[in-house]
Structure 1
Amino acid sequence: MPLVRGEATLQRATFLELFLDLVFVFALTRISGRVIDDFTDGQRGVLAGLGQALLLFLALWAVWSLTVWSTSWLDPEAPVVQTVIVITMLGAMTMAVAVPDGFGARAPLFAITYVCLQIGRVVYFHLAAHGQPDPRQTLRVLIWFGLSAPLWVVGGLADDGTIRGSLWSIALLIDYGGLALGWPTPRIGRQRIGGRMIAAEHLSERYQQFLLIAIGEAIFVIGVAFSSSEFHVNQAAGFVLALASTVLLWRIYFHVAGKVLDAAVGRSRHADRLATDMAFAHLTMIAGIVLTGVGFELFITEPLGHLPAAWLIAILGGPALFLAGRSALEYQVFGRVSRSRLAGLLALGLLVPVAVHLDPLTAGAAAAVVLLGVAGADARRSRHRSPETPTPPY
C-alpha cells in the first residue's frame, strides 16, 4: 500500500485520528486544572505555575502537530501510519496523566515518555516502512531530536525546578526550531514534512478540529465550575456570561479566515511555510482559549469577591492572546489584519488599570463586551462586502 497520499486519498480526518484527539481533550483539562490551582491555592505562584504549564502544553502540542503534519503527507489509512497514531495515543495519554505533577514527582515520566515517543515513532516508521518514503527526512528529524533528548531527560531527573525549567525551555526551542525551519542538517539540507505535497484540506481541518477541542475544554470547565457552585444568582450570571463568551470565541475564529484555511494553503506560493505559520497561530489561539477558560472558572466560582490583580492574566489576558493569534491567522490567509481585532487588543490592554478595581464578574463582562465588539464588526463587514478570496502574503 502506498505511504504517500495520492490524489484520491480521503481528505477528511480518519476515525482513528479523531480518537487520538480525545487524548488531547483530556490533556487540556489537566493543563487548565493546573493553571486554576495556580490562581487559587498559590503554592507554586501564578507566574511560575503559568510558565510550567506552558512548557508542558508546548510539549503536548509538539507531539500533536508533528502527528498531524505526518498524516497530512502520508496516507492515514496505511497500516504503518495507523500504528504510529496508536503509539502516539498511548504516549500522549501517559504524558497527560503526568501533567498535574509534571514539574514534580512525575517530571521523569513526562520527559522520558516525550523523548521515547518522539524518537521511537520515527525509528519505528523508518524500520516498518523500510526507509520509505524519504530516509533523509528520518535522519534530519532524528538528529534534531537527538540534540534535545538529553536536555529533556536531564531536566526530568533534576531535583531543582529552575534547572528543569531552563533545560526544558532550551529543548523546546530546539524542537520547535527544527519544526519551523525544516530540520536543517549539514550535507542533506532541510525539508519540512511533505513540502508542497501536504494535503491542504486535511491539515486545515485538523487545525480547526483542535481549536474546537480547546473550546470544548472551556465548556467543560464552565460546566464543572457551575455544577460545583451553590447556584446563586451571581454564579448563574457568570455561567451565562462564560457560555456567551465561548460562542463569541467560536464566531470570531470561524468568521471567514477560519473557514478557508485550505484555500489559503492551496493558493500560497510557499504552502509548507504558510502551513507551519498557521500551526503557530493556532497554538497561540488555543493557549488563549485555555487561559480564557481558567478565567471563566474564576468569575463563576467567585463572581463578586475580591479580584486579585493576577486573575486579570486569565480574564483579560486569555481573550487578548486569542485575538493576537487570530490576527496572525488573518494575515496569513488574507495578507492584512482587520482593524476590529487590533482595536480589541487595544481595548483589553486599556481595561487592565480599570479592571483591578472591579469584581471578577464585571471584569469578565468587560472582556465579553470587547469580544462582542469584534464579532459585531465582523458581522457588519460581511453584510456590506462580497465574500473575500484568500490572498496569502507568501
Structure 2
Amino acid sequence: MDTPRRVRLQATSDRSSVSPLELFFDLVFVFALTGVTGLIADDTSARSLIRGLLAMAVVWWCWIGYAWLGNVIRADEGFARVSLFFAMGAMFVVAVTIPEAFDDLPGGLPGPVVFAVGYFFVRLMHVVTFWLASAGDPQLRGQILRFVPSMATGTVLLLVASQLSGAAQTAMWVAALVGDYLGTLVGGEGWRLNSPSHFAERHGLIVIIALGESIVSIGVGVTHLPVSWPIIVGAMLGLAVSGLLWWAYFDTTTLAAERALAAATGERQIRLARGGYSFLHLPIVVGVVLLSVGLKKVLNYAGDDSHHSLTDPLHGLPLVALLAGPAVYLLGLAAFKAYVTGTMGAVNLLRISTAVVLLALIPVAGRLPALAALGLLAAVLLTLVSYETIRYAAHREQIRHGESPA
C-alpha cells in the first residue's frame, strides 16, 4: 500500500496477528459491555432491556469499524496508532456515558448529548484514517464515500434523540441504527480484507472479552457480601457456563469458519466477513451480555441472605436473561457457522434445538431456586458440549488437526 510518507501507514499482511494496541483498544470495549450490563440489570424492566440492546448495537458498530480498519493497515504503526488512541478516548467517553445515554442525571453535562458526540468522534477518526489508507486505491476510496452518508445519518439521528424522551427517543435510536446498519449492508463490497486470519482472530478475541465480562459479573454481584458456600457453588457454576460457551465457539466453529473465509475470494469474501462476523457476531455478544445480567442476579440471590433465601427463585428479566442469553448465543453461533461455511450441518441443528430447549425451560427454571436454575443451565450446556465432542469426534479431529483419527 503506497501512502504519503508523512502518515506512514503500513498495510496489514496476510499473516498478521492482532496487535497489542488493538487488544488495548478492546479493553475500553470491556468497560462498555459492563455499562450495558449495568444499564439492563439496574432496572430489570422491558424498557431497560430495549435501551441496553440499543446501546449495545451502537457500541458494537463502533468496534466493528476498527476491526475492518486494523485489517487494512497495522493499528500500531504511524498515524494509525495516534488515530486509535484518539478513538479510544472517544470510545471511553461513550462507555462512561452509557448510564446517561437516554436519561440525563441531575448536574454535570447533558449525558445523551455527550454520548452522541463521543460516538461521532469515534466514527470520524475511523473514516479519516480509512480515507488516508485508501490513497492510491480508487475502489476503496469510493467505498468509503458510499459509507459516509449512513454514518453521518446515524450520528445526526442520535443527536436528535438526545433532545427527546420516551417512545420518540427510542424510535429515533432505532432509526439511527437501522440507517447505519442498512447503509453498510447495501453500500457495496468494495472493502478490503488483507488477512482473514487476523479478522477471525480479532472477532474471536472479542468473544473471549465478552465471556470475561460475564465472569466479572459473577464477582460484581457479590463484592459486598461475605464469602459462603452458596457463593462458591454459584461462582463455579457460572464459570462452568462461560467455559462451555467458550468451548462451543472455539473448539471447532471458529476454525471451520476461518478456513472458509480464507478460501473465499473477491466480493464473496467481503460478504462472508461482513455477514458472518460484523453482523452475526452481534447476537453472540448480546447473548453473553444477557447471561451476565442473569449471573449477576443469581450470585446476589445466593449470597444475600438478608434479602433472599436460598429457595427463592429468579423471576422477571433476570430469569429470562439467564436462559435466553445462552439461547441467543447458540442461535447466533449456528447462524454464523452456517453463513460462512455454507452448510447447516448436524452440529448446528443440535445447537438450534438446544436453544429452543433453553427457552422452553424458562417457566420451569422460574419455579426452582436461583442456584438450581443456574445448575440446570450448566447441565444442559454440558450435555450439548459432551454429546458434540463424543458423537462427532472424527469430524472434530479432522477440523482441529487436519486428519482423521487412526
What is the TM-score with the length of structure 2 in the denominator? Answer: 0.85
Partner amino acid for 2:367? Answer: H
Shift of residue 9, structure 1, vs aligned partner: 5.8
Map of 2:364 onto structure 1: 354
Partner amino acid for 2:391? Answer: R
Map of 1:313 onto structure 2: 320
Unpaired stretches in structure 1, ≥5 consecutive residues: 40-45, 184-189
Shift of residue 311, structure 1, vs aligned partner: 2.3
**Most deviating of 6-15 and 244-253:** 6-15
The answer to whether 1:107 aligns with 2:117 is: no
For residues 256 and 130 of structure 1, do their structure 2 counterparts lie closer, same or farther at Cα, with a shift above 3 Å needed?
closer
Contact 2:330 2:355 in 1 (8 A): yes
| Inter-partner Cα distance in structure 2 for 1:120 and 1:385 | 44
Shift of residue 224, structure 1, vs aligned partner: 2.3
Deviations 1:79-114 (A, max 9, x none): 232232222211111100101121111111111221
For residues 107 and 331 of structure 1, do their structure 2 counterparts lie closer, same or farther at Cα, with a shift above 3 Å needed?
same
| Inter-partner Cα distance in structure 2 for 1:212 and 1:57 | 17
The answer to whether 1:65 aligns with 2:64 is: yes
Map of 2:208 onto structure 1: 212
Partner amino acid for 2:124? Answer: I
Shift of residue 147, structure 1, vs aligned partner: 2.6
The SS at the match of 2:162 is helix
Partner amino acid for 1:236? Answer: I
Contact 1:84 1:125 in 2 (8 A): no
The answer to whether 1:380 aligns with 2:390 is: yes
| Inter-partner Cα distance in structure 2 for 1:138 and 1:209 | 26
Contact 2:71 2:198 in 1 (8 A): yes
| Inter-partner Cα distance in structure 1 for 2:254 and 2:15 | 21
| Inter-partner Cα distance in structure 2 for 1:101 and 1:7 | 37
The SS at the match of 1:227 is coil
The SS at the match of 2:119 is helix
Match of 1:327 among 321, 334, 344: 334
Shift of residue 221, structure 1, vs aligned partner: 1.1
Shift of residue 320, structure 1, vs aligned partner: 0.6
| Inter-partner Cα distance in structure 2 for 1:274 and 1:349 | 29
C-alpha RMSD over aligned residues: 2.3
| Inter-partner Cα distance in structure 2 for 1:384 and 1:146 | 50
| Inter-partner Cα distance in structure 2 for 1:129 and 1:74 | 7
The answer to whether 1:236 aligns with 2:236 is: no
The answer to whether 1:16 aligns with 2:14 is: no
For residues 389 and 175 of structure 1, do their structure 2 counterparts lie closer, same or farther at Cα, with a shift above 3 Å needed?
same
Contact 1:80 1:125 in 2 (8 A): no
Map of 1:252 onto structure 2: 248
Pairs within 5 Å for 1:142-291: 142-158=148-164, 160-181=165-186, 183=187, 190-194=188-192, 197-268=193-264, 270-279=268-277, 280-291=279-290
Deviations 1:296-339 (A, max 9, x none): 11111113324223322211111111111111122134411423
**Most deviating of 244-253 and 304-313:** 304-313
What is the TM-score with the length of structure 1 in the denominator? Answer: 0.88
For residues 12 and 150 of structure 1, do their structure 2 counterparts lie closer, same or farther at Cα, with a shift above 3 Å needed?
same
Shift of residue 132, structure 1, vs aligned partner: 4.7
Shift of residue 351, structure 1, vs aligned partner: 0.8
| Inter-partner Cα distance in structure 1 for 2:339 and 2:133 | 35
Contact 2:2 2:136 in 1 (8 A): no
Deviations 1:151-172 (A, max 9, x none): 11111122x1322211111110
Partner amino acid for 2:154? Answer: S
Contact 1:344 1:373 in 2 (8 A): no
| Inter-partner Cα distance in structure 2 for 1:281 and 1:142 | 22
Shift of residue 26, structure 1, vs aligned partner: 1.1
| Inter-partner Cα distance in structure 1 for 2:151 and 2:212 | 32
Contact 1:81 1:125 in 2 (8 A): no
Map of 2:344 onto structure 1: 336
| Inter-partner Cα distance in structure 2 for 1:277 and 1:48 | 28
Q: How many residues align?
A: 373
| Inter-partner Cα distance in structure 1 for 2:82 and 2:394 | 50
For residues 323 and 9 of structure 1, do their structure 2 counterparts lie closer, same or farther at Cα, with a shift above 3 Å needed?
closer
Shift of residue 376, structure 1, vs aligned partner: 0.7
The SS at the match of 2:246 is helix
Contact 1:111 1:153 in 2 (8 A): yes
Shift of residue 74, structure 1, vs aligned partner: 2.7
Percent pairwise identity: 28
| Inter-partner Cα distance in structure 2 for 1:389 and 1:180 | 31
Contact 1:257 1:330 in 2 (8 A): yes
Shift of residue 223, structure 1, vs aligned partner: 1.9
**Most deviating of 357-366 and 55-64:** 357-366
The SS at the match of 1:230 is coil
Map of 1:43 onto structure 2: none
Shift of residue 130, structure 1, vs aligned partner: 8.3
Contact 1:25 1:213 in 2 (8 A): yes
Map of 1:297 onto structure 2: 296
Partner amino acid for 2:152? Answer: G
| Inter-partner Cα distance in structure 1 for 2:11 and 2:174 | 38
The SS at the match of 2:221 is helix
Shift of residue 355, structure 1, vs aligned partner: 1.9
Contact 2:14 2:195 in 1 (8 A): no
